[in-house]
Amino acid sequence: MLSLESVTYAPGGHRNGKIEILKDINLKLEFGKMYALTGPNGGGKSTLARVIMGIYPPTSGRILLEGEDITGLAANERARLGFGYAFQAPPTFKGLKVIDLLEIASRRNPQEGCQPLRQIGLCPEEYLQRELDGRLSGGEAKRVEIATIMAQDPRIRIFDEPEAGIDLWSFDRLVKLIADSHRPEKITMIISHQEKIMRLVNEIILIAGGEICLQGERDQVWPQIKETMLCDCLEKCPLKGEEDVECPR
């Protein structure tokens, strides 16, 4: 189990006087389950993912992996424990090639990178030697990012809006790939707004305004979210009360 206990995050590291992007997050994620993390833009989804990955250190609270406190571990140390994070907007690298990233991810075994590239619909012969610079399209870069995580094969996997920038045909393939590669010994968390993704997971976590508003079994939570989320969003919306904000429900 991966547990977050009273985790807060404020950029700069001080709770007092700073804006908290995450507020008192308590979360238990079980191996074998797939989770969707959803909620309005700016609600704290990616920040939570980055806190779990060790990219952002929590301002307070603890993160426990199978009972062991890993709060102080950096991203590379968590990667070695089996954490992996597919970025929402993968960075570009001048001079580094797709094969270089796949080698790093798969711990220097490039063969393990070919299969994920194929699975995500990219021909290895065409893409392995491509540079990870601005010449890759957004969708290509995103698919390489997913393939990198598949090559890394972590046991705690977080996909940050994997569908962003990906065409409809690739999206179906992507959904299938994530589902098929899930295992009983893995935790899979997908940040998404897509109903197709919601149908894939065991549980849904709704985060808004830096707080977990709702968490539970998909079939119970998803109808609730569809009914109430927009209203909840407006509750937390800084524009609330202004005349041009109307309830879309």
Partner 1 sequence: MWNALDRKLLKEIADLHALPTGAFNIRKDGEGVERRSRPGIEITSGKGQPGVNVVVKPGVKGTVHIPVIITRSGLADVVYNHIEIGAGAEITLVAGCGIHNPGGELSRHDGIHEIIVRSGARLYYKEKHYGEGKGSGQRVLNPKTSMLIERDAYAELELLQVRGVDDTLRITEAQVEEGGLVNMFERLLTDGTQNATSEVEIKLIGDDSRARIISRSVARDSSRQVFKFRLIAHGRGRGHVECDSIIMDRAAVRSIPEVWAENSRAELVHEAAIGKIAGEQLVKLMSLGLTQEEAEETIIGGFLSRTGGDSNG
Which residue ranges make up the site for partner 1 (CB under 8 A)? Answer: 53-55, 74-76, 78-80, 83-85, 87, 90-91, 93-97, 100-101, 104-105, 107, 129, 131, 148, 152
Nearer to partner 1, 45 or 78 (CB): 78
Minimum CB separation of residue 83 from partner 1 in Å reads 8
Minimum CB separation of residue 12 from partner 1 in Å reads 15
d(CA 74, CA 53): 8
Nearer to partner 1, 160 or 232 (CB): 160
Minimum CB separation of residue 240 from partner 1 in Å reads 33
Q: Decide: 147 and 174 in contact? Cβ < 8 Å.
A: no
Minimum CB separation of residue 135 from partner 1 in Å reads 10
Nearer to partner 1, 134 or 241 (CB): 134
Nearer to partner 1, 138 or 223 (CB): 138
- Hey, what amino acid is at 173? R
- Residue 164, Cβ neighbours under 10 Å: how many? 15
Distant-in-sequence, close-in-space partners of 211: CB < 8 Å, separation ≥ 6: 23, 24, 25, 44
Q: How far is CA 113 from CA 116, 121, 130, 196, in A?
A: 6, 13, 14, 26
